[in-house]
Amino acid sequence: MSLPSRLVRVVPVAVLALLACWAATQNNDDYCGTVGECLGTAFDDAITLAVVVPLAGIALRMLGTGRVLLHLCALVVAGGSLWYGAGELLRALDPARSYDALLPLPVAHAVGVVTGAVATYVVGPGGGRTAKVVVAVVALALPVGAQLASDSAQRQADIDQITAMDITVYAPVLDGHPHEYASVSEEAVRLSYSFKVDGGTTFAGVTLLPTPAGSLCEVERNFAGPECTQVGHTMRASSPGFSSVGLVRGDSALIAKFDAADLEAEAVLTALREAPVVDAEDLL
């Protein structure tokens, strides 16, 4: 069977299969807040593939495509690669786009067309072996390049966001441990920590934000009334299980939350006072 004849058969099946998956994952851009919810989403995706892939195989068989199993394997691998790569390319163009946002319908349709064309050409027959290898490598390498581009775009967007806050950037070290990662929003930079303490793992966070007009207790809304006190530029707050301390350093405010059983408030305050000034690039 000639390449055009196989394209006419395989590409529509690939498009319909990808659009079926797209329709089945309409709600997957909802954030899963628990392990159970995330596992449930993954299970739903697995069920979708378990239904769509055999149906695609039946369609290819009915159309007399030949090499059905090879075509299915190529469609699954190329489709997954191109689907993920397309999402990462969109994030590179728009860093504010969510990691799990659904692909726009026209993009999903285009991914289906390209997936069908790649699978048809790679499976053969026809075409040179070197050309097939090149096509397969490009399809599989797309997610890597796309993710590198999206990570770079996200990093630059975070740097620009921190610069726009017009604050002095500090990088506190808690109990000898630097932060593991930083997340940036329009209002603040949040640093996350986790390290071993007495055989267990403790978690802490430091929020860096512009100095507020009011007190730090007003910013720290998790505490109210007598649970939060501020003397001068220093704030202390506590509740069962965890504590919060904060201070003002020039144009920046630093607020730390931590497990009161693992870290001492005065030690954390000292870490905030002595936190070195860094560039936004060094914080990320």
CB burial readout 166-196, b (16+ within 10 A) else e: ebebbbbebbebebeebebeeebbbbebeee
Length of the chain: 284
* Confidence band of 43 (pLDDT split at 50, 70, 90): low
Q: What is the pTM of this model?
A: 0.73
pLDDT at 243 over 60: yes
Q: What percent of the chain has pLDDT over 90?
A: 42
What confidence score (pLDDT) does residue 254 get?
A: 94
Which of 105, 115, 167 lies closest to 136 in space, CA to CA?
115
Each residue's pLDDT tens digit, 97-151: 887 788 899 999 999 999 999 988 888 776 677 888 888 888 889 999 999 999 9
Q: Mean pLDDT lowest for which of 8-17, 45-54, 83-92, 185-194? A: 45-54
* Confidence band of 277 (pLDDT split at 50, 70, 90): very high
